[in-house]
Every structure is written in structure tokens, then in C-alpha cells.
Amino acid sequence: MLMIHSQRPVALVTGSTRGIGKACALALARAGFHVAINGRDNEEGRARQQAMVAELEQFGIEALALPGDVSDLILQQGMLDTVLQRWGRLDCLVNNAGTAAKQRGDLLEVTPDNYQYCQDVNTRAMFFFCQKAARAMLSQGELNNQHRSIINITSCSAHSLSISRGEYCVSKAAASMVTQLFALRLAEEGIGVYEIRPGIIETDMTSGVKPKYDQLIGGGLVPMKRWGQPTDIAVVVDALANGNLPFTVGQIIDVDGGLNKSHF
């Protein structure tokens, strides 16, 4: 069957019904991408995704909801197949879906199950989504001179230590290596692979620790002395997806207000 390619570029953003993922999906829609979004496959999750589709399509693009758990590798392939059947191309994958540690506590008490949980969602899922997306992008080639990219959202915890959630830090450090490996493999193919490390970002997921971090940020933990916003991440995703850093390979971009800068 002859594949009909959309004239617009196409992006798939995982974990995109709230927070950072939602901001990224909106930024790409504003930039003219058709956007496939992803969230939980339950009643609330599907409702969020349908509302998000309507919001995205206000920008004059097409949007598609792909509910499901990204750590399900068979489902990953189904998501990509649906995107390709709908639009005939994939130009940008944003690996945003992730999970926190199930519980904070002593590093000496981390269980194998809790360790594996972080690995499955934060590392294994990212690795194989990168692999599947890369194969799709290589098969289609570059269309309409559109830059092709894979953008992995990790965390400042890929570098900074937090012994109360060590399994999370390990999974994000491993995700950082996933980015470097695919960046090197795909450089000669003209596919940019990048890593964004958010710092302390104000979302519903951080609302429970807001008083604590308000005090820490005000005390200088973040040199810019403010919370990061999801849009701070989204503007970087927009730039990367549109090829505005064309001669970079595996670039790690800290979007953290200076959190990871050594200072006295």
C-alpha cells in the first residue's frame, strides 16, 4: 500500500496530558506539528486526553490520543503504527513519560520490585521507544527538509544525588546514557537525539512539596530564585524539534535555573 505522507511534521509526546508533557505538546502544535499525545488508559486518563486533543486542534493541526502504559513494549509499537497509519510519518519523539520512586526512604531498604519499577518506566521504556522511533524515521527518510529528532526528558537527578530515592536517580542516570548511545548511532543518519534535564518544576506532581521548595529556592538553592515552569522545558523542545541546534550530538541541556551549578 502506498503510504501518504502528511505535509505537516508529526510529533509524538508521551506522558502529555499535564505538566511538562502537556506544555511540550502545546508548543509543538503552535509550531505547526500534528501531535499524538499519550496518557493513562483509564477513565480519567482518557477524558484528559480527549480534552487535550480538542485544545491542541485549536491551533489548526490534527491531534490523536494514544492511551496506554509506555513500559508495555508491544503497546509502544501499536502507538507508532497508529501514528504512521494516520499521518505517514514521524519527525519528533518526545520521551517525557516517567515515574517517581514509589516511596522515599533509606537506600539500604530499597526493594528489588521498587528498583525495577523505576527502571521499567524511566529507562527500559525510553530505550525501546527510541529504537522503534529511530527505525520509523530511518524508513521514511527526511521529508520536506524537516529535521528529525528524539528528545528525552530526564531529570537533574541524572547527575545530582538523592539518597532517599536512589532507585529513581539510577534510572535517570541510565536514561541519560540511553540518549548518548542513540545520539551517536543516529548522528550520521541526520537524526538529532537530545536530553533535557529539568530542575525543580512547578506542576501538580510537585504541589505536595511546594512549601519546602519555596523556602529552599528563596534561600538560594536555585540561583535564579524561582520555580521552573513547564513552559521553560517546552521552549527548548520546540527549538530542538525544529532543528535549531543542527550541529549538536547528544546535547544535554539543563533547564534548572542554575540548580546544578556549583556555587557557594
Question: How high is the pLDDT of residue 262?
Answer: 76
Report whether pLDDT(84) > 70: yes
Length of the chain: 264
Mean pLDDT of 89-109: 95
Convert the pLDDT of each residue in 108-124 to its tens digit: 999 999 999 999 999 99
Of 49-58, 101-110, 182-191, which gets the smallest average pLDDT? 101-110
Record the cell numbers describing residue 197, joined without a space: 534535564
Question: How high is the pLDDT of residue 90?
Answer: 98
From 115, 117, 168, 213, active-site residue: 168
213 is catalytic: no
Report whether pLDDT(1) > 50: no
Between CA 167 and CA 186 the distance in angstroms is: 29
Question: How high is the pLDDT of residue 5?
Answer: 82
Three-state SS string over 5-65 comes to CCCCCEEEECCCCCHHHHHHHHHHHHCCCEEEECCCCCHHHHHHHHHHHHHHHCCCCCEEE
Between CA 95 and CA 231 the distance in angstroms is: 16
Mean pLDDT of 55-76: 98
Convert the pLDDT of each residue in 191-221 to its tens digit: 999 999 999 999 987 888 899 999 999 999 9
Contacts of 219 (CB under 8 A, 6+ apart): none
Name all domains of the chain by residue range, CATH numbers in brackets. Answer: 10-255 (3.40.50.720)
Convert the pLDDT of each residue in 222-262 to its tens digit: 999 999 999 999 999 999 999 999 999 999 999 999 998 87
Between CA 116 and CA 250 the distance in angstroms is: 26
Sheet holding 92-95, edge to edge: 63-65, 34-37, 10-13, 92-95, 148-153, 191-198, 252-255
